[in-house]
Structure 1
Amino acid sequence: MDIKIDKTIEYKFLEAWEKGIDDKNVIITSKKSGESYRIDISEKQNKLKFYNPVIANWQSCTYVLPEEIFDVWYVTAV
């Protein structure tokens, strides 16, 4: 991913998650793991995806680790 993560402002998980739902051009990144996530919003359901550097693409995932949820997050416009 050729996007530089904006680390100027730190967010709690819920704040970052809400920004990800409100704006489809936002990715949220866990400070703890460095994993980036986005929420694909469709008419039927929302899907959580994470960036997989091995395949250089977004991949569906079913959960976020608890230790990530209780740590700091970054929000980056793409």
Structure 2
Amino acid sequence: MTSKYAPLWNYIGKLNQEDFFLSFEQIKQILGFEIDHSFLNYKKELPDYGYSVSKISLKNKTVKFSKIESK
């Protein structure tokens, strides 16, 4: 089954940047819907794409993504 966040994970996986932020609005544009509390569960899928969620700022409405060091 494909995750509802797969479009976001694919987008992030293709960026090939070390650390970067995406605003909630940018994420909404990529996905077609706003992230909600379920994002906390779905973010566990992201390491399969070489990244992790390192910070979620509700104040700034941003999510910081970090590239995982490949071994």
Task: Give the shorter-chain TM-score range.
Answer: 0.3 to 0.5
TM-score, normalized by length of structure 2? 0.33
Which of 1 and 2 has higher RCO (CA within 8 Å, sep 6+)? 1
In the superposition, the TM-score normalised over structure 1's length comes to: 0.31
Higher helix share: 2
